Amino acid sequence: MAATISQGTPVGFIGLGVMGAAMARNLLKAGFKVTVHNRSHGKVETLVRDGAADGGSPAGVARASDVVLLCVPDTPDVERVLFGEDGVVHGVKPDAVVIDCSTIAATATVEFARRLKERGVHMLDSPVSGGPKGAQDGTLSCMIGGEAALVERCMPVFQAIGKTFTHVGGNGAGQACKSCNQLVIVGTMMAIAEAFALARKMNIDPYKVREALLGGSAQSFVLQNHGKRLLDGTLQPGFRANLMLKDIKLALEAGRDTGAFMPVTALGVQFFAALCNSERAGLDNAALGLLFEELSGIKR
Task: Tell which CATH architecture fits domain 10-170.
Answer: 3-Layer(aba) Sandwich (3.40)
The domain over range 177-295 is classified in CATH as 1.10.275.10: no
Q: Name the DSSP letter for residue 88.
A: G
- Which residues, 6 or more positions from 137, have their beta carbon under 8 angstroms from its beta carbon? none
User: What stretches of 126-241 adopt beta strand conformation (E)?
Assistant: 128-129, 140-145, 162-169
Closest CA to 63 of 96, 31, 30: 96
Domain locations in the chain as residue ranges: 10-170, 177-295
CB count in 10 Å sphere of residue 38: 23
Residues 6+ apart with CB under 8 A from 279: none
Q: Which of 135, 151, 146, 121 is nearest to 59 (CA)?
A: 121
The Cα–Cα gap between 187 and 184 comes to 5
| Residues near 189 by beta carbon (within 8 Å), at least 6 away in sequence | 222, 226, 285, 286, 288, 289
CA distance 226 to 192: 9
Separation between Cα atoms, residue 158 and residue 173, nearest integer Å: 17
Helices (H), 121-205: 131-137, 148-153, 155-161, 173-201
Specify whether the CB–CB gap between 138 and 163 falls below 8 A. yes
Integer Cα distance of 182 and 92 in angstroms: 32
Q: Quick: pLDDT tens for 81-131.
A: 999 999 999 999 999 999 999 999 999 999 999 999 999 999 999 999 998
Higher local confidence (pLDDT), 253 or 300? 253
pLDDT digit string, tens, across residues 228-245: 999 999 999 989 999 999
Whether 20 shows a pLDDT value over 50: the answer reads yes
Tell me the per-residue pLDDT of 160-213, one tens digit each, with 9 for 90 and over.
Answer: 999 999 999 999 999 999 999 999 999 999 999 999 999 999 999 999 999 999
| Beta strands 97-100 and 33-37, pairing class | unpaired
Residues 6+ apart with CB under 8 A from 42: none
pLDDT of residue 300: 82
pLDDT at residue 2 greater than cutoff 60 = no
Q: How far apart are CA 283 and CA 56, in angstroms?
A: 31
pLDDT of residue 8: 86
Predicted TM-score (pTM) of the model is 0.93
Does pLDDT of 7 surpass 90? no
Query: Residue 3 — pLDDT band, cuts 50, 70, 90?
Result: low
Give yes or no: 178 in active site: yes
In 3-state terms, the chain is what percent helix, strand and coil (to 5)?
A: 55, 15, 30
Of the candidates 33, 43, 178, 246, the residue annotated as catalytic is 178
pLDDT above 70: percentage of residues in the chain: 99
β-sheet bridge partners, residue 68: 12, 98
- pLDDT of amino acid 1: 46
CB 52 within 8 A of CB 26: no
